[in-house]
Amino acid sequence: MIRNSRCGCCRHTSRSARKSSSGSRRPCEKSFPTGCPRCDDPGVSANRIDPGAKERRLLIAVRLSALMESESTPAIDVHGHYGEYIRVGDGSLRDRLPSADAAEVARRALQANIVVTIVSPLQALLPRFGADAVSGNRQAAADVAGTPGLRQYVVIDPRVEETYRQAAEMLAQPQCVGIKIHPEEHGYPVVEFGDAIFRFAADQKAVVLTHTSEANSRAHEFVRWADEFPEVRIILAHIGHGLDGDLAEQVRAVERSRHGNLYADTSSARSITPGLIEWAVSEIGAEHVLFGTDTPLYHTAMQRARIDHADLSDREKTMILRENAVRLFGFEEDPATLPAAATPA
């Protein structure tokens, strides 16, 4: 029988509060829905069943708010590529899936609220030991100019003099914002060619993004050039990647540099290791960590989510996702509103 009665749990008077068959008041949490408007509120009932629920809901709300704030940051990806990935060279799935043209790379970035992606052409890096850096740079100049949301690294192969001439010309154009080197794909020990590379970069006052840490490009080897050429800013790619499984190579190298001009990016698949990005920030500070995806080799949104969901402060996330790159590359305008760069002459 439904009648005016007092809820046995919260004492709220309601026509629809129910009684047990014996006439005693039934605890509302034992018989949802109760008909009692107060007890049927999920927040109230959760607090009664679990006294700690309110605090946990508050914590979740705070974390969700922080996540939404991080996700709203228009990010800058300092480590991207585009083009055909050639590892096997037989058109297999292993080659097809990590391949994407410039427009597709930009589309994936925009889906993850990445407004600028700085790319080097895979044509200039692959196949291993057989890439044509000169042709790749030339093609990238045209492709990047025609693709809003992209900026260009010019690739230097120090054994090919023409790539230095290209770099000098292209770095004078607004769309080309730095130099990319890859000792592993081009097949040279950086210890033999680093003096020439970084002397050139110093003359250009350029940012250099380099692959690390494999046999030809151990992260610690770059400390000497960072110290010798303080006007050069060097980004060590792939936090956590190491030939011998050492997760700390890039971070330890940054720690050893004297002038604060050595940085590391998050573009390694190792970045999904729990706590790795957070540990890097604790060791070298968020100001020395830059966001990179290695697109299209890795899933763009996944790499973005790793930073958005990191156990870091909002300020640290914003520095990694955006502010460090704005400072490092000298973006004077808001990258979200930068016009498409002009085609180099």
Look at domain 75-337 and name its CATH class.
alpha beta
Residue 21: the pLDDT is: 45
Residue 54: the pLDDT is: 78
Cα 335 to Cα 107, 108, 267, 309, 332: the distances in Å are 16, 17, 20, 23, 8
pLDDT digits (tens, 9 = 90+) for 213-254: 999 999 999 999 999 999 999 999 999 999 889 999 999 999
Q: Which residues pair with 154 in a beta bridge?
A: 179
Residue 258: the pLDDT is: 98
Handedness of CA 24, 28, 34, 37 (dihedral sign): positive
Domain ranges for the chain: 5-40, 75-337
The runs of H, that is alpha helices, within 112-160 are: 133-145
Residue whose structure tokens are 């925009």: 110
Can you read off the two tokens belonging to residue 153? 């690294």
pLDDT digits (tens, 9 = 90+) for 29-71: 444 455 665 555 555 555 555 667 778 777 777 666 777 778 9
Residue 333: the pLDDT is: 55
- Helix 300-308 / helix 102-111 crossing angle, nearest 10 deg: 30
List of the chain residues with pLDDT < 70 = 1-51, 62-64, 333-345
Can you read off the two tokens belonging to residue 303? 């790499």
Q: Whole-angstrom Cα distance, residue 209 to residue 165?
A: 18
Kindly report whether the peptide bond that precedes residue 257 is cis, defined as omega within 30 degrees of 0: no
Residue 33: the pLDDT is: 56
Q: Say what the pTM is.
A: 0.81
Residue 68: the pLDDT is: 72
